Amino acid sequence: MRGPLGAVIGRYPSSDGSEQLGSIIRHNRKCRDLVFLVIFIAFWVAMIVNSSFGFNQGNPLRLTYGLDYKGNVCGDKHAKGLRQLELKYWLNPNQVYLSGLKDNQFKLANARSICLLDCPAPSEDSLSWVCDYPEGDIRLSMDDWIDRNYDYYEFLTPEMRNTSLQLQGPCYPVIFPSVNVYWSCQFIARPSNVSLRHWQQMGGVNINEDIIIDKSIHRSINSRSSVLKRYMADIGKAWPVLIVCGGILPLFLSVIWLLLIRHFVAAMPWITVGLFNILIIAVTMFYYLKAGWIGNDAISPIIGEHDPYIRISGRELTHLRAAAVFMTFITVVAVLTSIAIVRRILMATSVLKVAAKVIGEAQALIIFPVLPYTILAIFYMFWFSAAFHLFSSGQVVQNDCNLNCCVYDLLSKRVNCDRCCGYSIHYTPHIGVAILFHLFGGYWATQFFIACSSTVIAGSVASYYWARGETSPEIPFLPVFSSMKRLVRYNLGSVALGSLIVSFVESIRFMLESIRRRLKVAGTTPDNWFGKAVYHTSRFSLRCIEWTIKSANRNAYIMIAITGKSFCKASAIATDLIISNILRIGRVNVIGDVILFLGKLCVSLSTALFAFLMLDTHRYRSAHNKISSPLFPVLVCWGLGYVVATLFFAVVEMSIDTIILSFCQDSEEHQGTAQYAPPLLIETLNDQNEMQRLTQGPQ
C-alpha cells in the first residue's frame, strides 16, 4: 500500500522539532538498480571492443569506391599509385557483356577492372587504348601512364600486341563511350564506328555491341548493397552538414524556443502550430524538387560533365519519390490535425504558463541541457565514425570462380589462365551482428542520456514545488546541480533500466516492421479481412505499447527524482497516481504534450530544411563530395535535431509533468486542497479555472 508522499517529499520534522525545507528530497536514499548499472557499464565496454574491431577492419573508402582486379580500393592512399585514381573501369567489354547474360556463370565481379582518373572516351579518328598498370618490361611510372591517357600500346612487343587483339591484354581497345556513375565507368551501348572499324582492320576479335553491356554495369551499380553503401558514404561526406544542421542549429533554435516560452507564453502555441505547418510543407516541396516532380533539379547518378542526352536513373531517385509521397500523406494529416486542435490551444497556453513560471524561478534549467547535449555530441562523433568503419569492414578476398579466361601477365611475361577471378569484400555473419549491436548501443545511449537529463530536471522542479515556490536558504543554491548529484550518486542504475526497456521495445518493433516489409514484398500478407484486421491491429497495438512505456518511463523518472525509489517501485507509484487522476491529468496535459511535440518537430524540420539547402550547394553536387542523394543526410539531421530538441524541450515537458503529478498528489493527501502549490502556480491555474478541474475532476 502506497503511503502518503507528502511525508516523504514534503516538509518533515527535524530532531529539534522544527520543519526542514527541501532536505527531505535527499532523505533516506540509497543506490538503486545497481545490477542494471553494471550491465550498462559492461555494455559500454563491449561497445568499445566492437568499435575497435570496426576501426581495425574497416575502410570507409570502400563505401564509395570499387576494387580493381588486384583487390585494391580505388583512391586508397595506401595502395601504390592509386591515391588519385578513384574511378573503376572494366577493361574487357566482352567480359562485361557475358556478365549480363542470364544463362552465363560469369560475374561482373570477376571482369578485369582497374582504377583510372577519368572515364576514357573513344577517339574520333583512330583507335584509343587503355592499358593495364605499367609493370615488368613497361618502364613507365604511374604518373607517366596517366599522362599518356593510360596508353602504352606502341611499347608492346608483337606477342603483347597479339594478345591485346585477343582481348587478353595488357592493352584493351576503347570502343564504347562511358560516363562516371557513382565512381564507376558505365558503358553506353553506342559503340564508336570509327574505333570499331580500326579494331576490325587490325584483326581484333569480335566485340559484342548489345545493350546488355550497358545494363550489366548499371545493375551492379544499382544493387541494394551498393545503394546502402552509398547512403552511408553520403552521411560521411556530409559531416559538415551534420555538425551545422544536426548539432549547432537545433541547439540555437531550442534555446530560442525556451526563451520565447518564458516571455511570450500566450503566443507560442499559435506560433508553433503555424510554423509547423509551414515547415512541413516546405520540406515536402524539397522532396518533390529532388525527385524531379517540380522543376529540373532532380538528383543524377552521373558525376561531372556528360552528354546531356545521356539519362541514367538509380534506386536513389525511386527512394526520393517514395519519400515525397510519404511526406505528402504526413503533411495532409498534420495540417488537418493542427486545424482540429485549434480550439484546444487555449488549454495548452494555461499549461505552458506553469512551466514558464517554473523556468522563470529556476533559470538554470534553460542552461542545464547544454551538459547532456555536449556529452551526446562527443558520443555521436565516436559512434558515427565507428559506424562507418563497421559498415565498411569485411575481408577483401579473391572470388572462387572456375572460369576459362586468360590474361597477359606483365610480370611473368606470358598469358596466365590461373588468376582470372576478381576480388570482393566478404562479409561474415558476425559483422552483421556487430552492426546491429552498434545500432542498438547508439539508441540505448541516446535514451540513457535523455533519461538522465529528464530526471535531473524533474528533481529540480520537485524541489521548487514542495518548497511552495519560495526561495529559501534551506534549498540548495542551485537545485539543478543538487538534483544531478543525487542522480549520479543513487539513481543511474534506475535510469539505465528505464532506457533499456524503451530501447528493447523499440528494437522489437523495428524487427517486426522489417519482417512485415519482407512479407509485403514477398506477397505473403493476409488476403482475408480477418487476417488484415489482425495484421493492422497488431501494428497499432505495438505502437500503443511503445507510447505507453515511454510515457510511463517519463513519469517513473519523476518519482525516482522525488522519492529515490528503484525504477519498478517508482513506476508503480507513478502509475497508481496517474490511474487515480487519469481524467484530471489527461484533460490538462494532453494538449500541452501535443504542442511540445509540434515544437520538437518544428526544430527538427528546420534542421531538415537547412540540410536540404546546404546539400544543394556546388560542394555536394560535383567532384569528390558529390552525394548520391540528400535523403539519408537529411534524415540524420532530422533525427539529430529531434534528439537535441528533446533534451531542451524536456525542461518544459518535465516541468509540466512534475508539477501536475506533485499537484495531484498534494491534493489527494490534503482532501482536495493543495498545500504545497506555490502561489505562482495557483495564480496560473486560477486564471484558466484549472484549479477546479484538477481538484474536482469531471462531473
The per-residue pLDDT for range 509-564, each reduced to its tens digit, is 777 666 666 655 555 555 565 555 655 666 666 666 666 666 667 788 888 888 88
The owner of cell 574511378 is 87
Q: pLDDT per residue over 44-96, tens digit each?
A: 999 999 999 999 988 898 998 989 888 899 988 887 878 888 899 999 888 88
Residues 146 and 279 in one domain: no
Residues 128 and 188 in one domain: yes
3-class SS of residue 129: strand
The owner of cell 536513373 is 313
Whether residue 409 is contained in a domain is answered as: no
How far is 226 from 521, CA to CA, in rounded Å?
20
Domain closes at, from 172, 188, 222: 222
Residues 346 and 375 in one domain: yes
Whether residue 613 is contained in a domain is answered as: yes
Q: What is the pTM of this model?
A: 0.85
How far is 272 from 649, CA to CA, in rounded Å?
13
Whether residue 509 is contained in a domain is answered as: no
Q: How far is CA 308 from CA 42, 61, 77, 180, in A?
A: 56, 29, 33, 13
Residues 271 and 384 in one domain: yes
How far is 349 from 11, CA to CA, in rounded Å?
31
Q: Is 456 exposed, middle or buried (0-12, 13-18, 19+ CB in 10 A)?
A: buried
Residues 172 and 243 in one domain: no
How far is 646 from 667, CA to CA, in rounded Å?
30
Whether residue 137 is contained in a domain is answered as: yes
Residues 276 and 188 in one domain: no
* pLDDT for the residue numbered 689: 47
Residues 218 and 238 in one domain: no
Whether residue 614 is contained in a domain is answered as: yes
Residues 161 and 215 in one domain: yes
* pLDDT for the residue numbered 337: 85
Burial of 623-661, coded b for 16+ CB within 10 Å and e otherwise, reads eeebbbbbbbbbebbbebbbbbbbbbbbbbbbbbbbbbb
Q: Does residue 642 contact residue 563 with C-beta atoms inside 8 Å? A: no
* pLDDT for the residue numbered 591: 65
Whether residue 266 is contained in a domain is answered as: yes
Residues 285 and 174 in one domain: no
Handedness of CA 400, 403, 409, 412 (dihedral sign): positive
> Which residues does 558 contact at the CB level (< 8 Å), separation at least 6?
455, 458, 462, 574, 654, 657, 658, 661
Residues 381 and 241 in one domain: yes
> Which residues does 589 contact at the CB level (< 8 Å), separation at least 6?
351, 656, 657, 660
Q: Which has the closest alpha carbon to 631: 324, 331, 338? A: 324
Answer yes or no: is pLDDT of 362 > 80: no
Q: Which three cell numbers stand for residue 269?
A: 502555441
Answer yes or no: is pLDDT of 6 > 50: no
- Predicted confidence band of residue 283 (pLDDT cuts 50, 70, 90): very high
Whether residue 682 is contained in a domain is answered as: yes
> Which residues does 200 contact at the CB level (< 8 Å), separation at least 6?
none
- For the chain, first and last CA: distance in Å? 28
Domain closes at, from 189, 222, 255: 222
Lowest mean pLDDT among 136-150, 162-176, 344-358, 680-694: 680-694
Residues 156 and 253 in one domain: no
CA dihedral (18, 19, 24, 30) in degrees, to 10, reads: 20
Q: Which has the closest alpha carbon to 459: 22, 12, 3? A: 22
Our count of domains for the chain comes to 2
- Mean pLDDT, the chain, as a whole number? 81
Answer yes or no: is pLDDT of 633 > 90: yes
Among residues of the chain, what percentage have pLDDT more than 70? 79
Q: pLDDT per residue over 580-629, tens digit each?
A: 766 555 555 666 778 888 899 999 999 999 999 999 988 888 777 889 99
Domain closes at, from 198, 222, 246: 222
Listed in sequence order, the DSSP H helices in 292-400 are: 315-340, 345-361, 364-367, 370-391
Residues 94 and 204 in one domain: yes
Crossing angle for the helix pair 582-615 and 567-580, to the nearest 10 degrees: 110
Which 8-state DSSP code applies to residue 73? B
Answer yes or no: is pLDDT of 688 > 60: no
Average pLDDT for 453-469? 80
Whether residue 31 is contained in a domain is answered as: no
Q: pLDDT per residue over 99-139, tens digit each?
A: 888 877 788 888 889 999 988 989 888 889 999 999 888 88
**Segments forming the whole domain that contains residue 154:** 87-222
